[in-house]
Amino acid sequence: MTKTLVLNASPRKAWNTAKLLKSAAEGARSAGSEVEHIDLYDLDFTGCRSCMLCKRKGAERCHCYWKDDLSPIIDRIFRSDVLLVGTAIYLGRPTSRYFEVMERLHFCALSYDDYSNYFTGKVNVGLFVSMNATKEFYDRLYKDAFEGYAQELQMLNGEVCLYPCHDTLQVSDYSRYNMAGFDEAKKKLSREKNFPKDLENAYGIGQRLVRESGD
């Protein structure tokens, strides 16, 4: 049975990013995959500490030696068939949790002899990003950067599918917050019109990545 690992790099467990990941996970299950879901903000870890333990001669490759909650998850990423990652966009970038994972994942697989990739397996990746920005804003200011972030995941040697979810609903009741820069009616209309399609597309991505993981 294939293994799918789901990493929520958003601090919110039941909002836009989490819902996209849940739908993608359901798609993976429908294709026969075993699914594990992890909320990264529940865990205690940091980015790379540059301890150099993974660079010791004779050390196990693609394994992070730092003793915290992330190291065993990195092991599970490398053993997975499919990785589904979701992050909100904060200040035009993924969340800090996302960057911490990527630092650790890359560093323990990177050869300091010739800068090659120690990882020889294959993990298909779905990267889901949610934002309050419109598609036009994303295409103009964010798209190139996030395609670059997606390209970094090619170190897992599988297909990488980037799915941006635009113009999301930030809160259920805007009147409770100082958020006058957003039109609540337009936000809710966008959610009603577009978010069901996003969930459907996420389901299809999870399903397809599992089905193609054996190719």
Of the chain, the percentage scoring pLDDT greater than 70 comes to 100
Asked whether the beta carbons of 74 and 117 are under 8 A apart, the reply is no
Q: How many residues does the chain have?
A: 215
pLDDT tens, 14-60?
999 999 999 999 999 999 999 999 999 999 999 999 999 999 998 99
Calculate the alpha carbon distances from 143 to 33, 138, 165, 204 in Å. 30, 6, 12, 22
At 89 the pLDDT is: 94
Specify the residue for token string 């998850």: 73
Note the pTM of the prediction, 2 decimals: 0.93
pLDDT tens, 120-137?
999 999 999 999 999 999
Query: Please, which residues have CB within 8 angstroms of residue 114's CB and are 6 or more apart in sequence?
Result: none
Domains observed in the chain: 3-211 (3.40.50.360)
At 94 the pLDDT is: 96
Mean pLDDT of 164-188: 88
Quick one: angle between helices 71-79 and 96-107, nearest 10?
A: 70
